[in-house]
Structure 1
């Protein structure tokens, strides 16, 4: 299963350099030819292996370690009084999830940079403790691993600063299946009592419970479900199940479900037609008076929401031909230690790790043997909505809460990633089982679509128009994964350019969280279908970049482009005139920053004690790319204090082992009293030649449109950022690259000569196979 390195097949591509012909052997599958001649075929080369210099200590816990932790937790001698989740009720104690605890950097460096043994590994475990007198959600650290007589189970407090440690009030705990079962009887009771009304208003839409065959609509929920853990509420919207994200109904049920006793849960009210009704009686009176008739019926046919081809849209000329594609014709130029997830490519080296909550993480990132970053990792994907309806107005999602890493799923070779990509599995743990998501990480080299550098110069009188022409091929290595978090598909690319630049990009596709359409609510989004409004929202994604420019002693340099008035003696006739110049300073203390207007500032992490040949501080620059935004709303009750990490473009702090994460996976339900308060990271510590962490935001303000149907397009919903060398070297890092052409004109004969530096153009046939025939199922082991 892992990895798939050869394309999995559907036809032949013909190259100008060598045509590829069909053999006489045919097999039929989906009316496609699947068997072809194999000699001299490109793409058959597997990724070369390599031995990592150290073990990947950032890797997640293994299946064996997870099972051992599970058994230790359920051992009566441990004293946690646990019930198996399948049998648990809201008043039981049970394990929610198990993941790896972030490694302390201080312990890691003495291992990877020295001869110390690997530091011990710990698991982090969330246990819902509904059986306590004061019910809560409690996070524990379990280790060292593997489990032995020395392994302990202790509250995980030290990485949180909100004053409650690893403990979260029960009302703010995750809305899981067990908690849903506790509130479902109330929802069923009230909705079944008004089923004749909802059926009349919503084309036969009725709710008698999730498992009842009479049910024709479904309930959908949002976050947060609490403000500070003192109370719990649910804002429920109903939808048709054909595609619940795109077929919303104008009917909302508001519930208070505070505590662990379902008999105390109650209905706060109903919303429809932009009106609030506090009781069933009030609602029914309005219905019987004919006041609730819907102006725009929702479609029950969900075919328009599917991502199949729509024949009614016609056919584009030449679209029957296989489209242009990317292939590694010369073979793979990167190496991989599959076990340790260690990669080397064109001077780059790095380790890949994966966590259940955050997804992909990169560690010990070096270029040409020198460390640039200790860690680069996504910290949160936040989405906050706006609207004049209970669900849209109150939606502020933290996607780590939904386990971003567990949401990384199968990639379709040739479509999600190029044919010939290296495909790797990703694993996470569910209870005492390990889930293997097959082919959910791909690695490939790409032609970036433009030269890295080029110049044409010389004699314009030459019939060639130049004396010499130099072009350096632009290439990069991409590691890619796609997280489908319910409705949205986030594509994450980490792009390692051959010049030493590292680009981060994220794209969003998938379904909108839509709302029922009203003519009066245009300020929150346009009408995109018969009864559907595209809800206005912002996506903010936060990254952690722990820079180590050569070593851990770094500073944060800000260079502002300013307009100055000056005179120059060689231009006496101009007098005083405006001129641009640079003002350079260093950020003295921890702070949060926004980009200067017109991007008239440059931000660098530099090592003031390490100079290049020209006496300049060696560093890396943070280059804003596309859509580098921050959260536009600062004082919403639904994201007031638990989303501080998203409210600026950049933030710079000192690295501390007790500040490994910008957010908590349980923070989403604590906007007024967060478990992790990012604002507390800033306590006036000096940044002068210290170990620095930069927290970077980018994302999309999603001004929804009809073209978001059926799904949002990656071509438009896109954000990026580049970390680029800035005086880190003595010159641009293109001089040693062999994939280039140097063309010169002979001065006497005027003939062209060129140098290929030994890199010959490949001459080979191409075989690619149908990827849909080779997809692998998720494994539960």
Structure 2
């Protein structure tokens, strides 16, 4: 029987509800493994056939094959047979239960842009060769590694070969250390250690606490940070937390008790607790801590109890207006096209392909507007949450969420709530440990009309108003305590917006009267908020009108200018400045939004002789996107160099395909990808350019973040706005609206489609049958149970 987790790789969210009492006991005790292992693929899998779909879009055929798509089932089966039985020295162990080298995951290695452009232009003889990206979990703790290979071409034939995958990594390596011990050893250590500590822990946390009953309101588990090297030893700080029985919110139930664990040895019986910290005092051994608890003057801190205060819903609200159904959007008829097989979308002049990765989620490719290229690649690279605090958990806590496979954590969307009921829904699949995993309805696509017009004007003789309709591609990744909503929004004028929102339970700290106010606010009895910064990095390989682009800073500056018509020179005024960015560089958004960044081909002009291009600038949300305040972070070092500024411009290279690796956290001082090395002084005038931009915000949670952070308070976005790209506003031809003649009531004119008869709206079109939502537990990685 397969294990319940993937041996040896860290995870942020350890506790899972198990069906056997033994599993419950083990998982509760070892929630510390949250930073130490990954889920097995079959717990992601969805059983059964997706339900029949109603017509929400027009079925179309893509102009060419989606060359960025994942591996087919046939390709994967042939690949696995080749890896296990072909001539190689991987020494793979087919059984997950056995020790040895094992396949962690396989996915498509996306083709080089150079090859794709040759294929799209017709200069290549066929589509680019298909290769696989294979990740191997190799060796045994403490000498474990994560090894990466490229295998191809596929399907397997006599030319297929296995090559270390090093070309995307400027470290020159295809392998990185894996500090995490095996899951079995962690469970075994917990079984042996917790009973010896039970009297001590019950003395501090109450006689009614348990460590083996997740259904008990007073059950306690352990959360551990990702292991780190310290003076040659592999250590992990751990925290005791409530299991979160009421609302699965253990991150709100910090108990203020921490211990430092040494997991360096291969034999778990040689592991040891190095230190304890309680009520701000550090004890250098369990014996010292136990002795201190018996001495006069020892102060016990209050217990942070679970309760209804963690619930996100109030079913008994006395606000009567809530009993009236809110307004909803309906779709009269589908106006966009979708090729499900090729994941190709067309809407109002836009066209693009969708590709999915179990690591980063979805990426959009070959985005065109009215036939002209705009962006070759647009998608998430990494999502970081960096904390600060005076305890050893928050003071050293950084999450890099692609490490936990954000694309595999895109669970089924709730129709009518996550997305309109009339949206089109797409499934996602991936391969983990030789098994196919499946999340149905995890991508939604829909058209929506805003609550404000895209344009309007009232004149003396007429009123003209156009509806502001846009198109959205949306996903939600649930990574432990946070749900990240990521969406790509397309507007009628050719504008593109990338937007993120975060909701879910904050990761709190234990309230003390010491330095807690320096890092947050008291928000419950023993709960303090914990300041942290979210920085989500995205890649936009911009091809505005083609691959030859230049980035220009366009500023609005104060000026003192003499004008021949002015009797009192000089005049204090403002003017535009233009400065071409000649080399790769990073930038922060200017104060007062007095500068924008224009990107385009400086040889391509519109009808008025102006350079055609797009403006890159912050969009809607809670102010400008942010970068990390901490300089040279002790906790994450060089693994997130992209987070030090708001955005970057680099020259496109087939060897610089992403800003980081999900395994960067394993070796923070010498990561597989050091983004700072992307910026090496190359000239970028009229070159193929890539913009790496950050979204996110500095989050200082307050009482309104309990129980959940609200998505409208945590929104951030970036916009790509056409600038002289068209000879006039293109939305004139695609928007719908009305022109009212103020002189003649009988001369009302409509442009575009409108509803001329009563709409018959079925209940299921606005309130879908929720019983059709996937039954069974969602296997979301939890901090603990």
TM score, norm. by length of structure 1? 0.88
Range with greater deviation from structure 2 (653-662 or 45-54)? 45-54
Task: Tell me the residue number matched to 1:309.
Answer: 314
Q: Secondary structure at the match of 2:200?
A: helix
User: 1:88-127 counterparts in 2 under 5 A?
Assistant: 88-89=98-99, 92-114=100-122, 116=124, 117-127=126-136
Pairwise CA distance, 1:680: 0.4
Pairwise CA distance, 1:618: 1.0
Contact map agreement 1:297 1:530 (CA 8 A) in 2: no
Task: Tell me the residue number matched to 2:15.
Answer: none
Task: Tell me the residue number matched to 2:41.
Answer: none
Range with greater deviation from structure 2 (225-234 or 644-653)? 225-234
Does 1:606 find its partner at 2:600? Answer: yes
Does 1:735 find its partner at 2:732? Answer: yes
The 1:290/1:538 distance shift into structure 2, 3 A limit, reads: farther
Task: Tell me the residue number matched to 1:297.
Answer: 303
Range with greater deviation from structure 2 (101-110 or 380-389)? 101-110
Output the aligned Cα RMSD: 2.4
Does 1:256 find its partner at 2:262? Answer: yes
Task: Tell me the residue number matched to 1:406.
Answer: 408
Pairwise CA distance, 1:227: 5.2
Deviations 1:703-739, CA, capped at 9 Å, x for gaps: 1011111111112111111111011111112221351
Contact map agreement 1:402 1:485 (CA 8 A) in 2: yes
Does 1:724 find its partner at 2:721? Answer: yes
Does 1:535 find its partner at 2:530? Answer: yes
Contact map agreement 2:103 2:137 (CA 8 A) in 1: yes
- For 2:773 and 2:576, the matched residues in 1 are separated by 55
Contact map agreement 1:357 1:400 (CA 8 A) in 2: yes
The 1:291/1:250 distance shift into structure 2, 3 A limit, reads: farther
Structure 2 counterpart of 1:75, from 72, 85, 91: 85
The 1:549/1:87 distance shift into structure 2, 3 A limit, reads: same
- For 2:230 and 2:155, the matched residues in 1 are separated by 37
- For 1:559 and 1:50, the matched residues in 2 are separated by 41
Does 1:697 find its partner at 2:697? Answer: no
User: 1:325-474 counterparts in 2 under 5 A?
Assistant: 325-329=328-332, 331-458=333-460, 467-474=461-468
Deviations 1:341-365, CA, capped at 9 Å, x for gaps: 0000000000001001010100000
- For 2:661 and 2:213, the matched residues in 1 are separated by 31
Contact map agreement 1:227 1:673 (CA 8 A) in 2: no
Does 1:678 find its partner at 2:675? Answer: yes
- For 2:90 and 2:738, the matched residues in 1 are separated by 68
Range with greater deviation from structure 2 (233-242 or 180-189)? 180-189
- For 1:537 and 1:132, the matched residues in 2 are separated by 32
Deviations 1:141-194, CA, capped at 9 Å, x for gaps: 11112222322222111110124x1110232xxx4xx72322343344343222
The 1:334/1:230 distance shift into structure 2, 3 A limit, reads: farther
Pairwise CA distance, 1:338: 0.5
- For 1:269 and 1:76, the matched residues in 2 are separated by 49
- For 1:46 and 1:758, the matched residues in 2 are separated by 20
Structure 2 counterpart of 1:202, from 200, 205, 216: 205
Pairwise CA distance, 1:83: 2.2
- For 1:480 and 1:206, the matched residues in 2 are separated by 42
Q: Secondary structure at the match of 1:108?
A: helix
Task: Tell me the residue number matched to 1:52.
Answer: 62
User: 1:140-179 counterparts in 2 under 5 A?
Assistant: 140-163=149-172, 165-171=173-179, 175=180, 179=182
Deviations 1:506-533, CA, capped at 9 Å, x for gaps: 0000111112221221121222222222
Task: Tell me the residue number matched to 2:783.
Answer: none
Pairwise CA distance, 1:602: 0.7
Task: Tell me the residue number matched to 2:186.
Answer: 183
Task: Tell me the residue number matched to 1:657.
Answer: 654
- For 2:237 and 2:95, the matched residues in 1 are separated by 26
Task: Tell me the residue number matched to 1:320.
Answer: 323
- For 1:296 and 1:215, the matched residues in 2 are separated by 14
Structure 2 counterpart of 1:645, from 642, 647, 655: 642
Structure 1 counterpart of 2:755, from 743, 754, 761: 761
Pairwise CA distance, 1:670: 2.1
Task: Tell me the residue number matched to 1:31.
Answer: none
Aligned pair count reads 717
Contact map agreement 1:550 1:607 (CA 8 A) in 2: yes
Contact map agreement 1:50 1:335 (CA 8 A) in 2: yes
Task: Tell me the residue number matched to 2:39.
Answer: none
Q: Secondary structure at the match of 1:641?
A: helix
The 1:205/1:260 distance shift into structure 2, 3 A limit, reads: farther
Deviations 1:638-684, CA, capped at 9 Å, x for gaps: 12211101111110000001110100110013222211100000111
Task: Tell me the residue number matched to 1:282.
Answer: 288
The 1:132/1:292 distance shift into structure 2, 3 A limit, reads: closer
Deviations 1:414-461, CA, capped at 9 Å, x for gaps: 011012111111112221111110111111100022111111112xxx
The 1:290/1:96 distance shift into structure 2, 3 A limit, reads: farther
Deviations 1:95-130, CA, capped at 9 Å, x for gaps: 222222232101111112226311112221221211
Contact map agreement 2:545 2:600 (CA 8 A) in 1: no
- For 1:204 and 1:657, the matched residues in 2 are separated by 61
Q: Secondary structure at the match of 1:545?
A: strand
Q: Secondary structure at the match of 1:87?
A: coil
Contact map agreement 1:160 1:166 (CA 8 A) in 2: yes
Contact map agreement 1:83 1:94 (CA 8 A) in 2: yes
The 1:227/1:643 distance shift into structure 2, 3 A limit, reads: farther
Pairwise CA distance, 1:570: 2.5
Which structure 2 residue ranges, 5 or more long, are not aligned?
A: 1-48, 780-785
Pairwise CA distance, 1:374: 0.3
Contact map agreement 1:49 1:335 (CA 8 A) in 2: yes
- For 1:737 and 1:133, the matched residues in 2 are separated by 61
Q: Secondary structure at the match of 1:315?
A: coil
Does 1:137 find its partner at 2:143? Answer: no
Q: Secondary structure at the match of 1:572?
A: coil
Pairwise CA distance, 1:52: 0.3
Does 1:546 find its partner at 2:549? Answer: no
The 1:363/1:2 distance shift into structure 2, 3 A limit, reads: farther
- For 1:452 and 1:213, the matched residues in 2 are separated by 54
Does 1:572 find its partner at 2:575? Answer: no
Deviations 1:485-505, CA, capped at 9 Å, x for gaps: 111000011101111000111
Q: Secondary structure at the match of 2:771?
A: helix
Pairwise CA distance, 1:304: 2.7
The 1:97/1:230 distance shift into structure 2, 3 A limit, reads: farther
Task: Tell me the residue number matched to 2:774.
Answer: 776
Task: Tell me the residue number matched to 1:16.
Answer: none
Range with greater deviation from structure 2 (467-476 or 109-118)? 109-118
Contact map agreement 1:136 1:170 (CA 8 A) in 2: yes
- For 1:211 and 1:246, the matched residues in 2 are separated by 16
Contact map agreement 1:3 1:425 (CA 8 A) in 2: no
The 1:610/1:741 distance shift into structure 2, 3 A limit, reads: same
The 1:556/1:231 distance shift into structure 2, 3 A limit, reads: farther
- For 1:185 and 1:211, the matched residues in 2 are separated by 19
